[in-house]
Amino acid sequence: MSKTLDTSKREQTINLGAGPSSLPTSVLLEAAQGILDYDGTGMGLVELSHRSKTFQKLMDKTEADVRALLNVPDTHAVLFLQGGGTEQFSATALNLLAAHAVKNPDYFKSNGNKGPPCDYAVTGSWTAKAVKEAARLGATTNVAIDSRKVDGANGKFGSIPPVSEWKLSPVESKPAMLYYCDNETVDGVEFPNPGFPINDLPEDYRKEVPLVADCSSNILSRPIDVAAHAIVFFGAQKNVGPSGTTVAIVRKDLIVDPDQGVPNGGPRIPTTLVYKNMLDNGSLYNTPPMFAIYASGLVFADLLQNKGGVAGATERSEKKASLIYGLIDNSDGVYLPTVRQASARSRMNVTFRISRAGENKPDEALEEAFVKRCAESNIVQVKGHRSVGGIRTSLYNAVTVEETQKLAEVMTSFMEDVKAGKL
Ligand SMILES: Cc1ncc(COP(=O)(O)O)c(C=O)c1O
């Protein structure tokens, strides 16, 4: 077998997949070496004991880099988990309900054997799933806003109404959390810069209610005030690394033994979902997803050392997104943005439909032709999510400004062909 790795095809390929998605070639080459012989141990990374000093060193460095990149204060734990973002839909609600039960022992009984409200801001498909899961697990959920149901939405996501219009639970009802998703990957909806408007929450609510953020698809693309959150979590497989690990940054005072809350109406939680088990065991309660953590660690180090950290990524994200949205806005209606509120258009997942000039309605044949045109230019994975259709070009951190310029060139020539009636 040849010992050299062939990167020639991938060097010509622009991968705009929504996740799993593109990763830096340098990182994958290093990971390939590590798979064979990690750090001169003669063993591949995935062949080491997860209890070895070698792996512990890797875990420590990876956590330190996450802390440095995201400015994580000592009040918060960094946990490396499995089960994807989806498992956090359950884990966030269960662990915060447990914390609530431990800290408020009389609440359940005095509230007619009903748990505290869990507030959700439903701004896209992933928060819709999260709230459904919490309700299924028995949480008392309150949808503070469902952006499909606001004026002009016609049942579709595509805006984020101001917090003043949300129906948050009263602070006196002691909500267990307010949950939001910073970037809705399927629908291309992102909280406008600089991020979730924490300061728009009523002051007492902001101080009392734990804030939970799903940042699976935009973490490390702009700063986030971790200290102001109870939980920030993100699956690795977009801006970070391969699928397999989910990082949860959790305020330590909210990490409790859930069994202590059970007599007070708190939930029983499966062992591997209990944050306390993971914290007490340095994320090594059971065998961790070693490769995913390793490769994610390489991405963290690369961003820190070579790419200007989160500040560098923020600048590049702005450049890339404004290039493509600028083109969409000046396409004379050939490219139709699917997100109605311009300020809530995602910098990560640019979603749009394609229309014949002047017709203002999606044309699936044209969209198919666009996907084909992209493929001819080695631009791949641009189809919209199966639930919404259309086109989605994801501009995650590993997609360079130069690659985005190539996408813009293809979009421009395709648009000219549509306008000229050639398609
Ligand atoms: C914002 C967001 N949250 C949660 C998920 C679910 O993640 P997973 O597939 O890892 O469970 C995704 C997946 O794409 C996502 O984009």
> CB of 384 closer than 6 A to ligand 1?
no
pLDDT at 1 over 70: no
Cα-to-chain-centroid distance, residue 264:
33
What pLDDT digit, counting tens, does each position of 136-191 carry? 999 999 999 999 999 999 999 999 999 999 999 999 999 999 999 999 999 999 99
Report whether 83 contacts 243 (CB < 8 A). no
How far apart are the C-alpha atoms of 23 and 289, rounded to whole Å? 18
How do strand 246-251 and strand 231-235 relate by DSSP bridges?
antiparallel
Q: DSSP secondary structure string, 134-185? A: HHHTT-EEEEEEETTSSTT-TT-------GGGS-PPPGGG--SEEEEESEET
Q: Tell which atom from ligand 1 comes closest to the C-alpha of 124.
A: 1
Protein residue with its CA nearest to atom 5 in ligand 1: 85
pLDDT at 50 over 60: yes
What pLDDT digit, counting tens, does each position of 322-370 carry? 999 999 999 999 999 999 999 999 999 999 999 999 999 999 999 999 9
Q: How far is the CA of 85 from the centre of ligand 1 (A)?
A: 5
Protein residue with its CA nearest to atom 13 in ligand 1: 85
Protein residue with its CA nearest to atom 7 in ligand 1: 85
Q: Tell which atom from ligand 1 comes closest to the C-alpha of 89.
A: 4
CATH 3.40.50.12160, applies to 309-419:
no
> CB of 65 closer than 6 A to ligand 1?
no
What pLDDT digit, counting tens, does each position of 274-287 carry? 999 999 999 999 99
pLDDT band at 4, cuts 50/70/90? confident
Give 169's strand partners: none
3-state helix, strand, coil in the chain (%, to 5): 45, 15, 40
Residue of 185, 187, 237, 351 to mutate, ligand 1, most atoms within 8 A of C-beta:
185
Return the domain boundaries, the chain. 53-300, 309-419
Q: Which residues are catalytic?
A: 126, 214, 238
Listed residue (95, 138, 90) closest to 257, CA to CA: 95
Protein residue with its CA nearest to atom 16 in ligand 1: 185
How far apart are the C-alpha atoms of 345 and 158, rounded to whole Å? 8
pLDDT at 63 over 70: yes
Check whether the bond before 362 is cis (ω within 30° of 0).
no
CATH number of 53-300: 3.40.640.10
How far apart are the C-alpha atoms of 223 and 10, rounded to whole Å? 30
